[in-house]
Amino acid sequence: MHDQADDGRSSGQSRLGGYECRLPKLTRTGHRPDLRNLLLEDHLTPSGTLLSRYDATRRTGTGMRRREFIALIGGGAAALPRGARAAPALPVIGFINLSTARSFMEAALRQGLNETGYSEGQNVAIEYHWAEGHHDRLSAMVADLVRRRVSVIAATGTPAALAAKDATTTIPIVFEMAGDPVKLGLIASLNRPGGNITGVSQLSSELVSKRLGLLHDLIPSASTVGFLVNPVDPRTESQTADMQEAGRTLGLRLHILRASTESEIDTAVASLSGLRLGALVVGTGDLFSRHSERLAASIARQEVPAIYQYREYAAAGGLISYGPSLTDSYRQVGIYAGRILRGEKPADLPVMRPTRFELVINLKTARTLGLTIPPGVLAIADEVIE
C-alpha cells in the first residue's frame, strides 16, 4: 500500500496550488491517487497549467473518478484563507437622465457620494444611463435597473423621475428636478415624502417670474417679452401661468414661443428678429438644457437679450442666468444616495431645496448687444463673465 505521497507528505494530505487538502479514501486495492499523475481534462496540474488530455488514469491505474476529483477541489476551496474568497458584490446606483452625457454632473454625483464615505469602484458601483433625448428609452432603462434590483436609482430630471416612479415602489429613488415634485405627483409633501422617493427640487420652475423681473430691471425699455417653452414638458402649463401673471403685474406683453424638438428650436430662434421682442425668457426643461450652448449662441446672434435658468447658458454666451447651481444639485443627489446606502429610508428624508441662487452676467455679450448693466445689478451678481 502507498502510505506516503511521492513528495514525502503523509498519505492523508497533498498540496494543490499551495493549499493543503485531504485526499479521498482508498479507491481500489489500497491505491491512493497521486494528484501529480492525475491529468484530467479541464483540471490543473500542480504547476497550475490547464490539462487538455485524459490519460493519466490509464497509465497509473489509480482509477480516480471525476466526481472524486471535484470533491477534492471543493474541499480545498473551502479551506482557502478568508482573504482569498471572492469579494462581496458592490452596491449599485443606477443613474438615469434623458439628456446626453455631461461629465460635470457625474463628477458632482461622485463628490456627494464621497462626502458620505462612498467611492466609485471601491465600495459602490455606478451605472450611467443617458437617453440622448429619447423619451422612449427611459422606461426600458428603468425597467432594466428594477429587474436587476439595483440598490438606488438616481433619477435626474423630471422625465427620468416620473419614469422611475412608474416602475417601482420598492427600490429607493433619489430624484433631481427643476419643478415641484408635489404638483407633479411624485411625493406627498416636501418635508415627509413618504414611500420610496425623495430627492432635490431646485424650484427653478418657480423662478420664471423672478427672471422676468430681473430682465425688466436690466432692460426697462422692453415692453414685449418672449417666453420660449417646450409644450410637451409637464411643467409648461404652470410656468406659463406664472409668467402671464408676472407680465400683467409689470405691464408687459408676453409672446409665447413653442419648441419641442431641435428643429423647432431653430425655427423659434430664427423668428425672433421678425417679432421685434425687447427681451426673451427661456423656460426650463431638458430639451433646452441639452442644447444650452447652441441655444445661447444662436439667440445672441439674433441680438435679443435673454435670461436663462443655469450658469451653463451664460458661460456659453447667454446674457444672464439666474437659478440654483446645477452642480450643487447633483452633489446633493449623491449625498442622499449615500445616506440611503447606509440604511436611511427615503420616506424619512425631506426633499432638499436650494438655499442659494446664482446670478451670472456675461459682460461680453452685454457689450455686443450694446447694453450697459446697471451698477446695482452688477453688485448683486455672483459671477461676472468678462
Domains of the chain (ranges, CATH numbers): 13-84 (no CATH), 92-203+328-348 (3.40.50.2300), 205-323+356-385 (3.40.50.2300)
What is the pLDDT at residue 98?
92
* 344, three cell numbers: 436611511
For residue 101, is pLDDT > 50? Answer: yes
Q: Counting beta carbons within 10 angstroms of the beta carbon of residue 237, is it exposed (0 to 12), middle (13 to 18) or buried (19 or more)?
A: exposed
What is the pLDDT at residue 50?
40
Query: Sorting pLDDT into bands at 50, 70 and 90, what band is 67?
Result: very low
* 183, three cell numbers: 404638483
Cα torsion angle, 295, 178, 207, 232, sign: positive
With residue 140 as reference, give the H or E element that holds it: helix 135-147
What is the pLDDT at residue 205?
61
* 79, three cell numbers: 479551506
For residues 128-134, give the mean pLDDT. 93
Backbone torsion region of residue 132, taken as left when φ is above 0, otherwise alpha when ψ lies between -120 and 50, otherwise beta: left
Of the listed ranges 91-105, 143-157, 226-240, the one predicted with least confidence: 226-240
DSSP string covering 170-210: SS-EEEEESS-TTTTTS-S-SS---TTEEEEE---GGGHHH
For residue 125, is pLDDT > 70? Answer: yes
For residues 197-222, give the mean pLDDT. 87
Query: Sorting pLDDT into bands at 50, 70 and 90, what band is 222?
Result: very high
Q: Pick the residue with more confidence: 207 or 231? A: 231
What is the pLDDT at residue 154?
98
With residue 320 as reference, give the H or E element that holds it: strand 320-323
- Which residue's entry shows cell 436609482? 153
For residues 163-172, give the mean pLDDT. 97
What are the C-alpha distances in Å from 245 to residues 229, 250, 251?
16, 9, 10
* 98, three cell numbers: 434623458
Over the stretch 12-51, which tens digit does the pLDDT of each residue have? 443 333 333 443 444 444 444 444 343 333 444 433 334 3
Beta strands at 306-308 and 320-323: parallel, antiparallel or unpaired:
parallel
Over the stretch 276-329, which tens digit does the pLDDT of each residue have? 899 999 998 888 988 888 899 899 899 999 999 989 899 999 999 999 888 999
Beta strands at 224-229 and 383-385: parallel, antiparallel or unpaired:
unpaired
When mean pLDDT is compared over 7-16, 63-72, 232-241, the highest value belongs to 232-241
For residue 224, is pLDDT > 50? Answer: yes
Query: Sorting pLDDT into bands at 50, 70 and 90, what band is 233?
Result: confident
